[in-house]
């Protein structure tokens, strides 16, 4: 009996850390460097992985694919190199309680570089495109399962993800990301202190009773 009370009190004292969802086209704190407000694309390039995990493909305007015209709705000029992204997208998040873990999966057309608080966490952008395909052949690309990044032990506070997205081969253009930030610390709930106290009292009473 006393063992079960102690386990109950301990289990009740630990609450899982909070989770912040980061989903392009959905999350608060999304912006871009051209029009500020992101546009969730509804006409998707056929090569793209469909909207994933509640996230949507985004851009700064409708740069998706028109099935009626069989071409991009609005064409984006090609980037000239690493220092010339076609657009830069931002996602901020805040958690001040404890160390954080970020897990994010990214897709882009044609390619992208990802930064966390100004530090690059992805490989460089791929400026080579396979003939006849709209997605870059490796790195962050627009089809398949996406490219996933996990960063542990991020300090509590406000942080910014930055996505430099590059147009390389003409046509449609966009970015999609889906992930979360988790508060990694298990935190005691107020009611746990009451349960813990009750468990200790019960254990003490059992010991006193057995002593007589």
**Is the pLDDT confidence value at 39 over 50?**
yes
pTM over 0.85: no
- Cis amide bond preceding 110, omega within 30: yes
101 Cβ contact list (under 8 Å, min separation 6): 150, 151, 152, 153, 154, 181, 182, 184
Average confidence score pLDDT of the chain: 83
Integer Cα distance of 69 and 43 in angstroms: 12
Cα 139 off chain centre by: 17
Mean pLDDT of the region 33-59: 95
Check residue 171 and report its DSSP letter.
Answer: S
Percent of the chain with pLDDT over 90: 62
Check residue 126 and report its DSSP letter.
Answer: P
Residue-wise pLDDT for 100-148, tens only, equals: 999 999 999 999 999 999 999 999 998 877 666 677 888 899 999 999 9
When pLDDT is cut at 50, 70 and 90, the band that residue 90 belongs to is very high
Residue-level pLDDT at 5: 35
Domain ranges for the chain, please list them.
Answer: 1-15+187-212, 17-185
Pairing type for strands 58-59 and 111-116 reads unpaired
Which of 55, 184, 29 lies closest to 108 in space, CA to CA? 55
Integer Cα distance of 102 and 189 in angstroms: 24
Residue-level pLDDT at 148: 97
CATH T-level topology, domain 17-185:
Jelly Rolls (2.60.120)
Integer Cα distance of 142 and 173 in angstroms: 10
Whether the Cβ atoms of residue 85 and residue 165 lie closer than 8 Å to each other: yes
Integer Cα distance of 17 and 25 in angstroms: 25
Q: Which helix (H) or strand (E) holds 104?
A: strand 100-109
Backbone phi, psi, residue 92, to 5°: -100, 155
């Amino acid at each position: 009996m006393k063992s079960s009370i102690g386990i109950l009190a301990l289990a009740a004292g630990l609450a899982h850390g909070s989770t912040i969802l980061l989903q392009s086209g959905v999350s608060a704190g999304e912006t871009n460097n051209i029009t500020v407000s992101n546009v969730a694309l509804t006409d998707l390039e056929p090569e793209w992985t469909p909207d994933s995990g509640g996230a949507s493909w985004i851009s700064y305007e409708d740069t998706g694919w028109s099935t009626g015209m069989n071409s991009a709705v609005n064409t984006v000029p090609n980037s000239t190199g690493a220092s010339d992204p076609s657009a830069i997208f931002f996602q901020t998040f805040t958690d001040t309680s404890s160390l954080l873990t970020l897990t994010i999966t990214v897709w882009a057309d044609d390619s992208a570089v990802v930064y966390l608080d100004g530090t690059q966490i992805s490989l460089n952008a791929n400026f080579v495109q396979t003939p006849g395909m709209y997605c870059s052949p490796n790195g962050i690309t627009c089809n398949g399962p996406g490219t996933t990044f996990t960063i542990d032990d991020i300090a509590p506070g406000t942080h910014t993800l930055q996505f430099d997205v590059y147009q390389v081969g003409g046509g449609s253009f966009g970015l999609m990301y889906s992930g979360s930030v988790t508060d990694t610390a298990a935190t005691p709930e107020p009611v746990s202190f009451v349960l813990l106290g009750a468990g200790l009292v019960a254990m003490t009473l059992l010991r006193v009773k057995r002593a007589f």
